[in-house]
């Protein structure tokens, strides 16, 4: 059974202030509940992560940046919710930052479990605009680089490939991993969106807002195969944003729910058919149906891979 990582603390609620941002702070619970309602998981099946600790955060982030998050004004700027600046720092830490530390712990755990069992999914994470010394675009902690760096330092992975299919460019990941020769990013993003200017990347694939579903899937298909062949990673971390969806208020792409389900299944299939461990995290998505898109993609992946997550043998003895 594919490990699915979730903690009730992932969900963010701040007296309704979270509704001032299009982000759905309860998205994680909705996905969790949908997977149970669809009969795919029982409550006891979900794996609960520990929150990430300061030492692990400092593997990537500067102490000055981490300290700055204690000021509500800094956090209000990153999350683009000005009213947060009026709340005491202990409160924003408890209700906003702590959930993100649980989610970051979840991304690290998903990567560890992917190496053990082939495929693991964190029902949060993917803060791809956060870099070592800054947060922006609703992203405070660079969970993907933190996870990659932890496993690389432990000698559990050689090369890591991040596949970022959120509609926005993963500028924080790109800036963070650029000095790391062992880490690469393939990033398919809508070219006319934030961030500007774009960050240099290993495999950037800018796309136009009016790309069709079939063209998008073909683009991802070819780019992913090329990047995997070039990098030959020991781990792929998939940032599966749901914001290329046609009804997403922050993007202009026109993909359907089915397109995004096909995309998630295609990525999982590409990576797993090559015997490469895959950790999936969720990233952005601001439509009311964002949770459903993630649930659909995960359901498709579970349907194909739930009973076959273990890694294939490296070499089979030849038959006599």
Q: Which of 129, 168, 270, 294 is catalytic?
A: 129
Q: Which of 284, 287, 294, 305 binds Zn ion (CB under 5 A)?
A: 284
Q: Near Zn ion by CB under 5 A, which window of 26-34, 197-205, 233-241, 269-277? A: 233-241
Q: Which stretch binds Zn ion (CB under 5 A): 169-177, 181-189, 240-248, 289-297?
A: 240-248
Q: Which 155-184 residues touch Zn ion, going by CB under 5 A?
A: 166-168
Determine the interface stretch with Zn ion among 84-92, 97-105, 237-245, 269-277 (rule: CB under 5 A). Answer: 237-245
Q: How far is the CB of 57 from Zn ion (least distance, A)?
A: 22
CA distance 164 to 117: 22
Stretch that binds Zn ion, among 31-39, 201-209, 232-240, 284-292 (CB under 5 A): 284-292
Token reading at 271: 């990576």
Question: Rounded to the nearest whole angstrom, what is the least distance from the CB of residue 53 to Zn ion in the complex?
Answer: 27
Alpha helices in the chain (DSSP H): 27-37, 54-57, 63-68, 72-79, 89-92, 98-117, 143-153, 171-177, 213-231, 257-273, 290-305
Nearest residue (CB) to Zn ion, 46 versus 194: 194
CB of 104 to Zn ion, least distance (A): 17
Q: Which is nearer to Zn ion, 104 or 283 (CB)?
A: 283
At residue 290, φ and ψ (nearest 5 deg) are: -55, -45
With beta carbons less than 8 A apart as the criterion, state whether 102 and 49 touch.
Answer: yes
Pick the closer one to Zn ion by CB: 84 or 167.
Answer: 167
CA separation for the pair 278, 149 (Å, rounded): 16
Rg of the chain in Å (alpha carbons): 18
Work out the burial of residue 182: count CB atoms within 10 Å of its CB; fewer than 13 is exposed, 13-18 middle, 19 or more buried: middle
Q: Which stretch binds Zn ion (CB under 5 A): 1-9, 80-88, 215-223, 243-251?
A: 243-251
Which one, 75 or 253, has the nearer CB to Zn ion?
253
Strand, coil or helix: 261? helix
When the beta carbons of 10 and 245 are compared against Zn ion, the nearer one is 245
Max CA distance (Å), the chain = 75
Judge whether 182 and 202 are in contact, CB under 8 Å: no
Indicate the residue among 6 and 23 with the shorter CB distance to Zn ion.
23
Tell me how far, at minimum, the Cβ of 25 lies from Zn ion, in Å.
16
> Among residue numbers 286 through 305, which ones bind Zn ion (CB under 5 A)?
none
Q: Are 115 and 278 in contact (CB under 8 A)?
A: no
Instruction: Give the shortest CB-130-to-Zn ion separation in angstroms.
Output: 13
DSSP conformation class of 269: H
Task: Tell me: does residue 187 bind Zn ion (CB under 5 A).
Answer: no
262 binds Zn ion (CB under 5 A): no
Nearest C-alpha neighbor of 299 from the set 253, 254, 260: 260
Spatial contact of 189 and 207, defined as CB atoms under 8 Å apart? yes
Cross-strand bridge partners of residue 160: 183, 235
Catalytic status, residue 168: no
- # binding residues, Zn ion (CB under 5 A): 6
Burial 51-66 (b: 16+ CB within 10 A, else e): bbeeebbebbbeeebb
CA 53 to chain centre: 19
Give the nearest distance from C-beta 32 to Zn ion in angstroms. Answer: 21
Is the CB of 136 or the CB of 243 nearer to Zn ion?
Answer: 243
Query: Is residue 243 part of the contact set for Zn ion (CB under 5 A)?
Result: yes
Q: Which residue is nearest to Zn ion (CB)?
A: 284
Minimal CA–CA distance to 209: which of 252, 240, 159? 252
Indicate which residues carry an active-site annotation. Answer: 129
Binding site for Zn ion (CB under 5 A): 166-168, 241, 243, 284
């Amino acid at each position: 059974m594919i490990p699915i990582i979730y903690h009730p603390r992932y969900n963010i609620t701040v007296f309704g202030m979270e509704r001032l941002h299009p982000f759905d702070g309860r998205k994680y619970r909705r996905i969790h509940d949908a997977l149970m309602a669809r009969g795919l998981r029982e409550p006891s099946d979900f794996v609960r992560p520990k929150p990430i600790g300061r030492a692990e955060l400092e593997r990537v982030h500067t102490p000055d940046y981490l300290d700055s998050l204690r000021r509500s004004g800094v956090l209000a700027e990153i999350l683009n919710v000005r009213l947060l600046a009026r709340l005491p720092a202990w409160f924003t830490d408890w209700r906003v930052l702590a959930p993100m530390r649980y989610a970051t712990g979840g991304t690290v755990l998903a990567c560890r479990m992917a190496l053990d069992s082939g495929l693991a999914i964190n029902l949060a994470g993917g803060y791809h605009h956060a870099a070592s010394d800054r947060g922006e675009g609703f992203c405070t902690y660079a969970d993907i680089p933190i996870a990659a760096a932890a496993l690389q330092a432990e000698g559990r992975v050689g090369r890591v490939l991040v596949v970022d299919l959120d509609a926005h460019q993963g500028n924080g990941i790109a800036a963070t991993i650029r000095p790391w020769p062992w880490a690469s990013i393939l990033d398919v993003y809508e070219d006319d969106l934030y961030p500007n200017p774009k960050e240099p990347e290993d495999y950037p694939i800018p796309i136009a807002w009016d790309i069709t579903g079939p063209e998008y899937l073909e683009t991802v298909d070819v780019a992913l195969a090329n990047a995997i062949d070039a990098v030959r990673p020991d781990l792929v971390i998939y940032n599966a944003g749901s914001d290329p969806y046609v009804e997403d208020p922050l993007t202009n792409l026109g993909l359907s729910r089915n397109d995004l389900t096909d995309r998630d299944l295609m990525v999982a299939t590409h990576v797993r058919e090559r015997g490469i461990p895959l950790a999936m995290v969720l990233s952005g998505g601001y439509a009311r149906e964002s949770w459903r898109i993630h649930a659909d993609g995960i359901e498709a992946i579970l349907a194909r891979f739930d009973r076959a997550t273990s890694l294939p043998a490296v070499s089979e003895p030849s038959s006599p």
